Amino acid sequence: MTLFKRILENSVQGIGIACFIYLLSGMIFDYVNHGTLLMENWMFTRQVIGTFLVGIAFSAPTEIYRNDNLPFPLKFLFHMGIGCTVYTIVAFRVGWIPVQLGWWRCLLFVFSGFLAALLIWLAYGYYYWKLAKSMNDKIQKEEHENQ
């Protein structure tokens, strides 16, 4: 598979995850606010475009993990740095962070976004760790049977 195709595939998956999170959080905020969630002046469209951008920003850089020449912490910083930076910029631009409530609340929303990103990253890491372990176990089993 080509680099472009892998990045495109990762981006589509990232957009899907971001859209799911956006819709779920929108339903939660609508429920908490007793159905008074109101979007005017193209707010929904701007937020959906922002969601797409955040999804791409977190998923496209995952290609860095294929590079064996970089240490893992640097790969992590590159990947999450791009995603979290784009998330923060987009969140302020499209109104996900309620600046009118003060800086402490803003920091809480930014931190919540970073925490959500880290939890998703850990879930993917756990999935791929289990997958690698399963594959290694099968290889070892076949090696033992062939001896």
Report d(CA 108, CA 46) in Å as an integer. Answer: 22
Report d(CA 104, CA 124) in Å as an integer. Answer: 30
pLDDT range class, residue 127, cuts 50, 70, 90: very high
Strand, coil or helix: what is 49?
helix
Domain ranges across the chain? 3-146
Q: Per residue in 11-51, pLDDT tens?
A: 999 999 999 999 998 899 888 888 887 777 888 999 999 99
Report d(CA 65, CA 76) in Å as an integer. Answer: 8
Place of tokens 């995850």: 17
